[in-house]
Amino acid sequence: MLAAQAKLAYHLNKYYTEKCQARKAAVAKTIRDVCKVVSDVLKEVEVQEPRFISSLNELDNRYEGLEVVSPTEFEVVLYLNQMGVFNFVDDGSLPGCAVLKLSDGRKRSMSLWVEFITASGYLSARKIRSRFQTLVAQAVDKCSYRDVVKMVADTSEVKLRIRDRYVVQITPAFKCTGIWPRSAAHWPLPHIPWPGPNRVAEVKAEGFNLLSKECYSLNGKQSSAESDAWVLQFAEAENRLLLGGCRKKCLSVLKTLRDRHLELPGQPLNNYHMKTLLSYECEKHPRESDWDENCLGDRLNGILLQLISCLQCRRCPHYFLPNLDLFQGKPHSALENAAKQTWRLAREILTNPKSLEKL
């Protein structure tokens, strides 16, 4: 048993060094290229409208607010200023979303975003995004990269296609620190010892973001409150949870396997599904010793089997907001195909670790 575990750990480490590190380097190079273009566009936006200040800054070789969806798809979160006069309302009626409501009607004129406040006192995510989209379209025509960048049409999202190879979504957002949403109040689960109280405090202090984007859980529902709603996102909190042990290494292996073998028609799986299932695996294996380097193979197998189960049930609950299904809207045939492909992959790794050399 230990010999098999050691053999798998050896091949996974080799895979990580050879394939995962190469993937990381390639993605980092793409990010630098893409961010040059996006920064240039955002500079032009800022000239036209100083309320949209670019927050795309590089820090310790990382761009704050940039998420890699896949090697050709990225999301840049543009942090807006001054949310002060609004109350955050999260009553669970809109899964995965919340609204921002004026704390007092008399404060309307004090808001930096006064023209985007609806008659009922909500700060409309849709209206802000629509204004931002117009500004970005104008900036694309003026920026110095105009030959290689164009807007993606037929969507209310702000998306750029760069060099005909990459798609970058730019999402206006507010950062909410020091508060925690009611819809995630069940976390952490009382009977699970992971993460410890100190880490929980750090994660909750990290807070969350409110994004102006289409919320897939509301597709087909079009009441005004819903189209004005903001999408909850926990990127920084999730990253903080995955510190320590071989967690990040495990995520890197999962992303590499996804890119190479699970980039399938209908796009059933992205990096975020992998990150979510890794968080659930941390709950199932709460002890730090479960995340020693020599346990990497066991953890990876656990996550792949969990992924197959989710694909077969056609449901993948969000880690902090379990009422939200991350597979919502995905074609059933695409999920079935992904389940078969993941099963082939898991079986291959489990029965013949040496196969990682070819995967």
* Cβ neighbours of residue 164 closer than 8 Å, sequence gap 6 or more: none
Alpha-carbon gap, residue 231 to 194, rounded angstroms:
26
Which residue carries 């793409």 as its tokens?
A: 30
**What digits encode the pLDDT tens for the residues 273-301?**
999 999 999 999 999 999 999 999 999 99
Three-state DSSP class for residue 36:
helix
Q: Where exactly are the structural domains of the chain? A: 1-358
DSSP annotation of 18 reads I
- Of 98, 155, 156, which is closest to residue 122 (Cα–Cα)? 98
Q: Are 73 and 58 in contact (CB under 8 A)?
A: no
Q: Please tell me the predicted confidence (pLDDT) of residue 221.
A: 52
Contact 250, 300 (CB under 8 A): yes
Percentage with pLDDT > 90 across the chain: 79
Please report the pLDDT score of residue 25 as a whole number: 95
Q: Give backbone dihedrals phi and psi of 229, rounded to 5 degrees, phi first.
A: -70, 155
Record: fold of 1-358? Beta Polymerase; domain 2 (3.30.460)
Residue 122 is classified by DSSP as B
CA–CA distance, 130 with 12 (Å, rounded to integer): 46
> Going by DSSP bridges, is the β-strand pair 149-151/97-102 parallel, antiparallel, or unpaired?
unpaired
Type and span of the H or E element at 309: helix 296-313
Does residue 240 carry a pLDDT above 60? yes
> Rounded to an integer, what is the distance from CA 52 to the centroid of its chain?
22
The mean pLDDT value for 206-232 works out to 77
- End-to-end alpha-carbon separation of the chain, Å? 23
Residue 224 — pLDDT band, cuts 50, 70, 90?
low
In this predicted model, what pLDDT tens digit does every residue of 348-358 receive, in sequence order? Answer: 999 999 999 99
**Chain segment 126-138, per-residue pLDDT in tens:** 999 999 999 999 9
Q: What is the mean pLDDT of residues 322-336?
A: 95
DSSP state of 187: P
Task: Quote the Cα angle for 140-145-149, to 5°.
Answer: 55
Give the three-state DSSP class for 175. Answer: strand
The predicted-structure confidence for 69-117, as pLDDT tens digits, reads as follows 999 999 999 999 877 788 899 987 788 999 999 988 788 888 889 999 9
Structure confidence at residue 260 (pLDDT): 96
pLDDT at 6 over 90: no
Q: What is the pLDDT of residue 225?
A: 59
d(CA 57, CA 27): 17
Q: Give SS3 for 170.
A: strand
User: What is the pLDDT confidence band of residue 219, given thresholds at 50, 70 and 90?
Assistant: low
**Tokens 């004129």, residue located:** 109
